[in-house]
Structure 1
Amino acid sequence: MVSWSTIQTFLVLLGPIIYSRGKAFYQSTKLRGPPKALTPGTHRILNILFVTGIVALLSTLPTFAPENIFQKTGSRLQIPTDTLFHRLSKIRDVTPDDEILRARLASREARLTYANFGPKPLVECSWCSPEEANTYLFYALPTLALPHLLHIAVLGIVTSSYFSPFGSVWRTQATVAGLALFLVELYFVGVSTSDHDANALAKLPADIVWTHWRLNLWRGVGIAFVDAWLGYVIFLTGTGRWTAGLDGLQAQEKLETLNKASELVYAKLHSENFLRQTVLRNKDLREKSFEFWAAEERAGKEIMLDEEVKSVRANLTLNITQLTEGAAQKSEGMLNTINTWRGLPAEVPQTSPAQPLTAAS
């Protein structure tokens, strides 16, 4: 066991580093700009995850769980078999499956197996033996794996690129989470012996750990939790609130955008070249084209020879010259002021190239 003082020491040493790294990561994933609207494919993913989560929660209801005759009759695990089924007969009619269960609950190990695997393996498995607990595990394994296989299949569907590229970003994490749920349940049923040992020492009905029924509850809650988590992160990714891990997806989107733009430019150039070739190969169109450009050239020359245009161009040239001279004088004045502040002699202003000095001056 790790002492509390050791945990405090690690928190003091590593706490600031973890906090700074976590804060930097959070800042890198913050939304920059307004959130984006969810695509129809992302809406379908969220609807599927919502439905599967609700079904998983409904599966935890006692109605869908197998009957526990010990809890139904309020009996201890060590109760005599005849007394147990006598109590059961007062509550409901005894069925043929109950008769099979009566014959197989005679031993202590069979009752511990009942608490661990439920009534189905004891009733249906003809080659299983209480002395070999693994035989019941092998028989119950398909039943244990079926809900998780269906859940992993749903996770694979919603994280495929068919619906939305945002779901495929979380494909690995979702698959690992689904497998982890199955491995955890398999550990408690087939590997861990803590519940078995506790039941072997239990004296009261309240002390019995009904592993099969408890895992039926936690399985549904775990599947619903994974679906809710996956739906939440896909929602964040689809609306642009979460950008971590989207570098490859963003690069792919940019490449697709550039590819579409280049295809559009190529199509326009191809159309223009086709139109030009058509004009040059047709005599009438070629002559009309030459006439058009000749008329454009003549109109341009006539505009440039117009007196008003000449006057505007001359005034524009004069204004540019005046602006250049004014800027030079301002800059020389600023330099002289700076030199005066520094205690240096002022520079002699240069003669403007537009007004050269003559010998008479």
Structure 2
Amino acid sequence: MVSWPIIQTFLVLLGPIIYSRGNAFYQSTKLRGPPRALTLGTHRILNILFVAGVVALLSTLPTFAPENIFQKTGSRLQIPTDVLFHRLSKIREITPDDEILHARLVSKEARLMYANFGPKPLVECSWCSLEEANTYLSYALPTLALPHLLHIAVLGIVTSSYFSPFGSVWRTQATVAGLALFLAELYFVGVSTSDHTANTLAKLPADVVWTHWRLILWRGIGIAFVDAWLGYVIFLTGTGRWTAGLDGLRVQEKLETLNKASELVYARLHSENLLRQTVLGNKDLRERSFEFWMAEERAGKEIMLDEEVKKVRASLTLNLTQLTEGAAQKSEGMLDTISTWRGLSTQAPPTSSLQP
């Protein structure tokens, strides 16, 4: 075990670095403008994740968990089998599954398997052996994997590009989180021996670790947490509050925008080309088009010959000449000033040379 002084030393040495890097990363992901409105696809993703999280939490209720006859009767793990089922018969009727358990819960190792894998493998598995604990794990593996496979399938659906591109940004992280939940449960059931050792030494009912029932609780909470986390980050990404990792998505959006713009330009050019070909192919339309442009040319010439238009053009030309002369005088003054500062003799070039 790592001692507390070592942890304190680690925090003192690396704490400021971790904090500064984390703060810099947080500042880089802050919203630079008003939040965007969520798209319809993003709303659907959040609704699916909400429903999946609620179902996961509901699965942790005792109603959906298998019955634990030891907890139901308040018995120790070492209680004699006949006494255990006699107590159970006073609470409810004995079922055929109870008869099978009565025949198999005769050894301490079988009861340890009951605490670890639940009643289903002991009742249904006919080829499992207490000498080979892995046989019970192999039988229970599909039951353990099914909720996680369904959860990973839901994560794959909500992170597909079908609903929203913002969900696909978190596809890898969501898949890793779903697999991590399954591997963690598999570790506690099939690899870790801490619960098995604790149950071997347990004397009181409160000392027994019911691994199977505890993992049902933590599985539902873990799935609901992953769904809540994924929904939160998709919400941040969809509203523009989180921008880290969206460079590829932004490039894709720009390419799609350019592609749509180019398609629109092509459609307009194509329609104009068809219109031009139609006009040129029809004699009446071709003559009308020729007459229209001839009329436009005559109207332009008449406008240019108008006296008022001539006066305006002359005034514009005069103003342009005055501006040119004023600029030339200003530039000459600046050159004279610079020459005086440097101690050079000023010799203004003739004004005519600055005329355009």
Code of the aligned partner of 1:219: R
Aligned pairs for 1:1-361 within 5 A: 1-334=1-334, 342=341, 344=343, 347-353=346-352
Q: Which amino acid aligns with 2:201?
A: L
Moved more, 167-176 or 198-207: 167-176
CA drift at 1:53: 0.4
Instruction: For 2:55, give the aligned amino acid.
Output: V
Count of equivalent residues: 355
Alignment CA distance shift 1:329-1:5 (3 Å): farther
Shift of 1:290: 2.1
Q: What is the distance in 2 between the residues matched to 1:263 and 1:204?
A: 76
Counterpart secondary structure, 2:166: helix
CA distance in 2, matches of 1:355, 1:46: 72
CA contact (8 A) 2:53 2:228 kept: yes
Name which of structure 1's ranges 185-194 and 298-307 shifts more when overlaid on structure 2: 298-307
Segment of structure 1 superposing worse, 225-234 or 326-335: 326-335
Range moving further from structure 2, 125-134 or 230-239: 125-134
Partner of 1:359: none
Q: Which moved more, 1:164-173 or 1:209-218?
A: 164-173
What letter corresponds to residue 281 of structure 1 in structure 2? G
What amino acid is the match of 1:264? L
CA distance in 2, matches of 1:226, 1:29: 21
Residues 58-90 of structure 1, C-alpha deviation per residue, up to 9 Å, x if partnerless?
A: 111111111111112221111111222222222
Amino acid paired to 2:352: P
Change in 2 beyond 3 A, CA 1:306/1:346: farther
Of 92-101 and 142-151, deviating more is: 92-101
Alpha-carbon separation, structure 2, partners of 1:97 and 1:298: 105
Deviates more, 1:106-115 or 1:318-327: 318-327
What secondary structure is seen at the aligned counterpart in 2 of 1:353? helix
Report deviation, 1:225: 0.5
Q: Which residue identity lines up with residue 43 of structure 2 in the other structure? A: H
Distance 1:65 1:344 in 2: 101
| Counterpart-to-counterpart distance in 2, 1:32 and 1:71 | 56
Q: CA offsets per residue over residues 117-144 of structure 1, 9 Å max, x none?
A: 1111112222222222111111111111
How many angstroms apart in 2 are the aligned matches of 1:289 and 1:191? 87
TM-score, structure 1 as length reference: 0.91
- The alpha carbon displacement at 1:185 in A equals 0.5
Gaps of at least 5 residues in structure 1 are: 357-361
Instruction: Give, in angstroms, the shift of residue 324 of structure 1.
Output: 2.6
Shift of 1:112: 0.7
2:115 touches 2:209 (CA, 8 Å); kept in 1?
yes
Q: CA deviation at 1:19?
A: 3.0
The TM-score, its normalising length taken from structure 2, stands at 0.92
Per-residue deviation at 1:17? Answer: 3.6
In the TM superposition, what is the alpha-carbon distance from 1:353 to its structure 2 partner?
2.8
88-97 vs 190-199, greater mean Cα deviation: 88-97
Q: CA RMSD in A?
A: 2.2
CA distance in 1, matches of 2:91, 2:301: 112
Separation of aligned partners in 2, 1:96 and 1:287: 99
2:328–2:354 Cα contact (<8 Å) kept: no
C-alpha distance in structure 2 between counterparts of 1:175 and 1:76, whole Å: 41
| Percent of residue pairs identical | 86
Matched-pair contact (CA < 8 Å) for 2:50–2:227: yes
Q: CA deviation at 1:201?
A: 0.5
Shift in alpha-carbon separation, 1:26–1:332, aligned structure 2, 3 A = farther
Q: Distance in 2 between matches of 1:350 and 1:13?
A: 74
Whole-angstrom distance in 2 between the partners of 1:18 and 1:329: 64
Distance in 1, matches of 2:95 and 2:266, equals 78
Alpha-carbon offset, residue 343 of structure 1:
6.9
Q: Report how far residue 41 of structure 1 moved.
A: 1.3
Distance (Å, rounded) in 2 between the aligned partners of 1:71 and 1:355: 107
User: Which blocks of at least 5 consecutive residues in structure 2 are unaligned?
Assistant: none
Tell me the distance in 2 between the aligned counterparts of 1:325 and 1:148: 84
Alpha-carbon shift at residue 345 of structure 1 (Å):
5.9
Q: Deviations over 1:276-326 (max 9, x none)?
A: 222222222222222222222222222222222222111111112222333
Deviations 1:222-268 (A, max 9, x none): 00001111111111111122222222222222222111111111111
Q: Distance in 1 between matches of 2:255 and 2:245?
A: 17
> In structure 2, what is the Cα distance between the partners aligned to 1:75 and 1:335?
108
